[in-house]
Amino acid sequence: MSAISIAIAAPARLAEHYQRVRTQTVHLCRTLQPEDTVVQSMPDASPSKWHLGHTTWFFEQFVLGHDTAYRPLHPSWRFLFNSYYQSVGPMHGRAARGLLSRPTWAEVLACRTRIDERMQALLARNDEPELRDRVVLGLQHEQQHQELLLTDIKHLFSLNPEEPVYDAALPKPPAGSATEMAFVHGREGRVEIGHSGAGFAYDNERPRHSQWLHPHALAVRPVSNAEYREFIRAGGYRTPALWLAEGWASVQERDWQHPLYWAHDLQSEFTLGGRREIDPHAPVCHVSYYEADAFARGAGARLPTEAEWESMAAGQGSADGNFQESGWLHPHADAEGVGMRQLFGDVWEWTSSAYLGYPGFRASSGALGEYNGKFMCGQWVLRGGSCATPGDHVRASYRNFFHPADRWQFMGLRLGRET
CATH number of the structural domain spanning residue 62: 1.20.120
The CA-CA-CA angle for residues 110, 116, 118, to 5°, reads 110
pLDDT at site 54: 97
167-179 burial, b at 16+ Cβ within 10 Å, e below that, comes to beebeebeeeebb
Per-residue pLDDT at 10: 63
**Are residue 238 and residue 338 in the same domain, yes or no?**
yes
pLDDT value at position 369?
80
Is residue 200 domain-shared with residue 142, that is, in the same domain? Answer: no
> Does 164 reside within a domain?
no
Same domain, 226 and 131: no
Query: Does residue 13 belong to any structural domain of this protein?
Result: yes
Q: Is residue 283 part of a domain?
A: yes
- Residue-level pLDDT at 419: 94
384 and 316 co-located in one domain? yes
What's the confidence (pLDDT) of residue 334? 80
Same domain, 369 and 233: yes
3-class DSSP string for the chain: CHHHHHHHHCHHHHHHHHHHHHHHHHHCCCCCCHHHHCCCCCCCCCCHHHHHHHHHHHHHHHCHHHCCCCCCCCCCHHHHCCCCCCCCCCCCCHHHHHHCCCCCHHHHHHHHHHHHHHHHHHHHHCCCHHHHHHHHHHHHHHHHHHHHHHHHHHHHHHCCCCCCCCCCCCCCCCCCCCCCCCEEECCCEEEEECCCCCCCCCHHHCCCEEEEECCEEEECCCCEHHHHHHHHHCCHHHCHHHCCHHHHHHHHHHCCCCCCCECCCCCEEEECCEEEECCCCCECCCCCHHHHHHHHHHCCCECCCHHHHHHHHCCCCCCCCECHHHCCCCCCCCCCCCCCCCCCECCEEEEEEECCCCCCCCCCCCHHHHCCHHHCCCCEEEECCCCCCCCCCCCCCCCEEECCCCCCCCEECCCEEEC
pLDDT of residue 8: 46
My answer on whether 152 and 208 are in the same domain is no
| Residues 46 and 103 both lie in one domain | yes
Look at residue 367 in the predicted model and tell me its pLDDT.
77
Domain count, the chain: 2
In which domain, by residue range, is 247 found? 183-418
Examine residue 168 and state whether it is found in any structural domain, yes or no.
Answer: no
Residue 16 sits in the same domain as residue 129: yes
Within this chain, do residues 79 and 197 fall inside the same structural domain, yes or no?
no
**pLDDT at 401 (0 to 100):** 98
Q: Is residue 121 domain-shared with residue 232, that is, in the same domain?
A: no
Contact indicator for 41, 152 with CB cutoff of 8 Å: yes
Under-70 pLDDT residues of the chain = 1-10, 335-337
CATH code for position 335? 3.90.1580.10
Q: Is residue 66 part of a domain?
A: yes
Task: Record the pTM.
Answer: 0.95
Is residue 221, in this structure, part of any structural domain at all?
yes
- Clarify whether residues 212 and 90 are in a common domain: no
Same domain membership, residue 279 and residue 245: yes
